[in-house]
Amino acid sequence: MSTDHFLELAQRWGAQVPSDEQLQRSIFSAPAGVIPGEVPPAYEAERYSVAGEESGEGTRRRSTTGDNGRSRNLVFPPAPEPLPYPIVDNHTHMDLLDGDVAISARDALDTGEVLGIGHIVQVGCDIPSSLYAVAAAHADHRVLAAVALHPNEAPQLAEADTLDSALATIEELAQDERVRAIGETGLDYFRTGEDGIGAQQESFRAHIRLAKKYGKALQIHDRDAHEDVVRILLEEGAPEKTVFHCYSGDAELARICNEQGWFMSFSGTVTFKNSKGIQESLRLARPELILAETDAPFLTPHPFRGRPNASYMTNYTVRFMAEHRGMDLEELCRTIAQNSQNVYGLWES
């Protein structure tokens, strides 16, 4: 897509999109050493201070209170040992800032790379964040983009009578070469009530069609809606590359994914003690269908649950996965890297 057309879309929706310079800025003149056991320098609040809620180049900032209403510990978790082979965080939101930092895309990606996260897929949830994803994928070769309207956005857009025009913009963005997935789309019966289900399903179906029309992968957000997600996928005919992002199913869904060749992307939730169904699915999953992600800034893996999350934390999740499956860590990293490439193609083209 031409820069002019891209900026015109941003203007039409009143969205602020960071420039290449903003995305590529760094607070370091030379690469800063990342020391295992210490907070990565780019995530130290003393270096990257926040002037206000609106600062930073992101589209939003994560709440400083947790689901229980209590204030969260905003210190980023310490760096782990680097991974033996670079993997992909195939679902993250760099534009959603967390903790006491207003980190740039460049500094986030550099930190991830040092710790073994060589590439990411930056995922959109609405028009502004989808525009951000496309901009980031053009500014840095380590980033590919996914664009979509989140299932929790769909009912609001339908209410405002802008769902169709928003979908038309997503379709325009979907044609960009750096956009390799339509997502995150799907169904969320946890946050959206009965009256929003119709709009969610309509939007989900439209996204499935877009993925197939342009030969892109599909990234599914499925919260408390396994049955309807599977039913609609089968009714529409699933895209060739279909990914359950932040996989939250049990053994039954894992068997369906294995049978259909649908990818299971494991996030920090797989490390939680009460995630027995997700862990069982990890053990059952065909190796060629396993992916990894952070969904940062949410879902920080154990033992840092509730703390800020960022792409480098995929490292902890993948270590847990290797141990839990009884698999050699390097072998799992190579598997995830290959699977990610099979789904999204090459990052450097």
Report in angstroms how near the CB of residue 140 gets to Zn ion at its nearest. 19
* Distance between CA atoms of residues 253 and 223, nearest Å: 13
CA dihedral for 347, 223, 155, 240, sign (positive or negative): positive
Report in angstroms how near the CB of residue 174 gets to Zn ion at its nearest. 18
Please identify, among the stretches 127-135, 217-225, 234-242, 309-317, the one whose residues bind Zn ion according to the rule CB under 5 A.
217-225
Report in angstroms how near the CB of residue 18 gets to Zn ion at its nearest. 19
Please identify, among the stretches 73-81, 97-105, 133-141, 220-228, the one whose residues bind Zn ion according to the rule CB under 5 A.
220-228
Report in angstroms how near the CB of residue 124 gets to Zn ion at its nearest. 9
Report in angstroms how near the CB of residue 96 gets to Zn ion at its nearest. 9
Please identify, among the stretches 9-17, 204-212, 219-227, 311-319, the one whose residues bind Zn ion according to the rule CB under 5 A.
219-227
Instruction: Select 41 or 89, whichever has its Cβ closest to Zn ion.
Output: 89
Token output for 159: 């209410």
Q: Which residue has the tokens 């913009």?
A: 169
Backbone angles phi, psi at 286, to 5 degrees: -65, 135
Instruction: Select 39 or 95, whichever has its Cβ closest to Zn ion.
Output: 95
Angle at 245 between CA 145 and CA 272, to 5 degrees: 130
Map residues 161-190 to x or -, x wherever contact with Zn ion holds by CB under 5 A. Answer: -----------------------x------
* Distance between CA atoms of residues 199 and 14, nearest Å: 23
Instruction: Select 104 or 265, whichever has its Cβ closest to Zn ion.
Output: 265
Dump the DSSP string for 103-145. Answer: --HHHHHHHHHHTTEEEEEEE-SSHHHHHHHHHHHHH-TTEEE
Q: Which residue has the tokens 């892109």?
A: 216
Report in angstroms how near the CB of residue 245 gets to Zn ion at its nearest. 6
Q: Locate the DSSP E strands across 18-64.
A: 60-61
Report in angstroms how near the CB of residue 225 gets to Zn ion at its nearest. 12
Instruction: Select 294 or 322, whichever has its Cβ closest to Zn ion.
Output: 294
> Which residues have C-beta within 8 Å of that of residue 270, sequence separation ≥ 6?
247, 278, 279, 282, 317, 320, 321, 324
Site for Zn ion in 18-47 (CB under 5 A): none
Token output for 63: 């709440």
Instruction: Select 34 or 173, whichever has its Cβ closest to Zn ion.
Output: 173
Report in angstroms how near the CB of residue 40 gets to Zn ion at its nearest. 22
Rg of the chain (C-alpha set): 19
Q: Which residue is nearest to Zn ion, using beta carbons?
A: 221
Instruction: Select 107 or 184, whichever has its Cβ closest to Zn ion.
Output: 184
User: Which of 72, 221, 226, 319 forms a contact with Zn ion (CB under 5 A)?
Assistant: 221
Instruction: Select 32 or 299, whichever has its Cβ closest to Zn ion.
Output: 299
Q: Residues, the chain, total? A: 349
Site for Zn ion in 315-344 (CB under 5 A): none
* Distance between CA atoms of residues 250 and 328, nearest Å: 24
By the 8 A CB rule, do 317 and 265 touch? no
Contacts with Zn ion by CB under 5 A: the residue count is: 3
Report in angstroms how near the CB of residue 297 gets to Zn ion at its nearest. 10
Token output for 250: 């049990």
Site for Zn ion in 254-313 (CB under 5 A): 295
* Distance between CA atoms of residues 40 and 222, nearest Å: 32
Instruction: Select 106 or 221, whichever has its Cβ closest to Zn ion.
Output: 221
By the 8 A CB rule, do 234 and 259 touch? no
Residues that bind Zn ion (CB under 5 A): 184, 221, 295
